[in-house]
A and B are shown apart, each in its own frame.
Chain A
Amino acid sequence: AQTVTQSQPEMSVQEAETVTLSCTYDTSENNYYLFWYKQPPSRQMILVIRQEAYKQQNATENRFSVNFQKAAKSFSLKISDSQLGDTAMYFCAFMIRRGGSEKLVFGKGTKLTVNP
């Protein structure tokens, strides 16, 4: 069974600073996908960044980047130049794609607060 662990229930950061959210996962699969989703208060989850396991290069999306360590099964999210709008729950998620199913397994989430 696949599991995703986020060891930081809550974090805070000052505006304009950098913060890293950690995520580890467990799987015996070799081909899979990893995601970070953001859930602002009372809003739907939206995708922040995705990483295919077969790609060695770490994904980057503007101020968001990941440190993907496949051997260590680690997938941390770095947010640079934090903004007030980054305040949200952040969920790390794991996916295996099989015909007819793209099930996401989520971690428990990290509540990030960006302070002015």
Chain B
Amino acid sequence: EPEVTQTPSHQVTQMGQEVILRCVPISNHLYFYWYRQILGQKVEFLVSFYNNEISEKSEIFDDQFSVERPDGSNFTLKIRSTKLEDSAMYFCASSGGIINTGELFFGEGSRLTVL
């Protein structure tokens, strides 16, 4: 069964460093998302991406964040200068296949730890 894959599963970085989280969405999907979950808190929407551009972003998604679909298969989230409060689990998701039921398919997440 097709699935969303994310790398790395866990990344530890120093504050101020750049981080790129990678995702391979399901191949025939059209909508792509990043969500994050700070430990013990709810899953929060960061950004949605459709037709090669951001369709919606949350207040969390400030200028330090960017997304890219560089090669038609990968979907990346870049944090330019990480802060301690960026420590969280980051989930990629995709949706909108041939039969679009509205279901989002999630990856297993990338745990980011900022020291």
Contact = CB atoms under 8 A, between A and B. Distances in A.
Given A44-B109, A102-B95, A91 B43 contact: yes
A105 B45 contact: yes
Contact of B102 (A33, A91, A107): A33
Contacts, number: 61
A109 B35 CA distance: 15
Interface stretch (A45-53, A60-68, A69-77, A79-87): A45-53
Nearest to A108: B42
Interface in B88-106: 91, 95-96, 101-104, 106
Contact of B108 (A44, A47, A105, A109): A44
B4 A100 contact: no
Q: Which of under 10, 10 to 19, 20 to 34, or 35 or more describes the interface residues of B? A: 20 to 34
Interface residues of A, number: 23
Given A95-B102, A97-B102, A102 B107 contact: no
Interface of B: 3-4, 31, 33, 35, 41-45, 48, 50-51, 55-56, 91, 95-96, 101-104, 106-109
Given A102-B96, A104-B35, A107-B42, 6 more contacts: A44-B3, A100-B31, A101-B50, A103-B56, A104-B43, A109-B43
